[in-house]
Chains A and B, each alone.
Chain A
Amino acid sequence: MYAIECKNLTHYYGKKLIYENLSFNVEEGKILGLLGKNGTGKSTTINILNGFLQPTEGECLIYGENSQKLSPATKMRIGFLIEGHIQYSFMNIHQIEKFYSGFYPRWNSAPYWELMSKLKVTPRQKISNMSCGQRSQVALGLILAQDPDLLILDDFSMGLDPGYRRLFIDYLREYAKAEQKTIFTTSHIIQDMERLIDDVLIMDFNRILAQQPIEKFMSDFKQFVIHLENHNTIIPETDMAVNIERVKDTIEFYTYATAEEVKAFLAERAIGFTDFRERKMSLEDAFIGLTRKY
Chain B
Amino acid sequence: MLKSLIYKEWIKIRWLALAILVAGILMQINIFLKVRHDIIFVDAANYWYSVLFRNYQYFGSLKFLPLIGGLGLAIAQYFPETVNKRIKLTFHLPVDEDEILIKIQTFGAMSLIAIFLLLGLFFFVGSSIFFPAEIIIPALLSSAPWFMGGLASYFLVGFILLEPIWLYRGLYAVLGAGFINFFYVSANPGGYAPVLPMLTLLTLLAGFFLLFSGYRFRKGEM
What is A's interface to B at a CB cutoff of 8 Å? Answer: 47, 50-54, 68, 72-73, 75-76, 78, 80, 82, 84, 86-91, 95, 98-104
Q: Main secondary structure on chain B at its contact with chain A? A: helix
Asked if B60 CB lies within 8 Å of chain A CBs, one says no
Q: Which of B5, B11, B84, B88 contacts A90 (CB 8 A)?
A: B11
Distance of A139 from chain B, by nearest CB (Å): 10
The answer to whether A72 touches B7, judged by C-beta atoms less than 8 angstroms apart, is: no
Other than the known A52-B88, A82-B89, A88-B89, what 13 A-B pairs have Cβ atoms closer than 8 Å? A52-B91, A53-B220, A72-B96, A76-B94, A88-B86, A89-B80, A90-B80, A100-B4, A101-B4, A102-B4, A103-B4, A103-B93, A103-B94
The answer to whether A95 touches B11, judged by C-beta atoms less than 8 angstroms apart, is: yes
Task: With CB as the reference atom, state the residue of chain B lying closest to A44.
Answer: B220
Distance of A180 from chain B, by nearest CB (Å): 21
Chain A residues with Cβ under 8 A from B80's Cβ?
88-90
Asked if B8 CB lies within 8 Å of chain A CBs, one says yes
Asked if B92 CB lies within 8 Å of chain A CBs, one says yes
What is B's interface to A at a CB cutoff of 8 Å? Answer: 1, 3-5, 7-8, 11-12, 80, 84-86, 88-89, 91-96, 217-220
Chain B residues with Cβ under 8 A from A88's Cβ?
8, 80, 86, 89
Distance of A72 from chain B, by nearest CB (Å): 4
Q: Which of A47, A75, A84 contacts B93 (CB 8 A)?
A: A75
Distance of A83 from chain B, by nearest CB (Å): 9
Chain A residues with Cβ under 8 A from B1's Cβ?
102-103
Chain B residues with Cβ under 8 A from A54's Cβ?
218-220
Q: Can you list 27 residue pairs at the A/B interface with Cβ under 8 Å? A: A50-B88, A51-B218, A52-B91, A52-B217, A54-B219, A68-B218, A72-B96, A75-B93, A75-B94, A82-B84, A86-B84, A86-B85, A86-B86, A86-B88, A87-B86, A87-B89, A88-B80, A89-B80, A90-B11, A90-B12, A91-B11, A95-B7, A95-B11, A98-B4, A102-B7, A103-B1, A103-B4
With A51-B218, A52-B217, A90-B12 as given contacts, are A75 and B92 in contact (CB-CB < 8 Å)?
Answer: yes
With A52-B88, A75-B93, A80-B92 as given contacts, are A99 and B4 in contact (CB-CB < 8 Å)?
Answer: yes
What CA separation (Å) do A43 and B25 show in the bound complex? 49
With A52-B218, A102-B1, A102-B3 as given contacts, are A72 and B94 in contact (CB-CB < 8 Å)?
Answer: yes
The answer to whether B4 touches A78, judged by C-beta atoms less than 8 angstroms apart, is: no
Distance of A149 from chain B, by nearest CB (Å): 13
Distance of B91 from chain A, by nearest CB (Å): 7
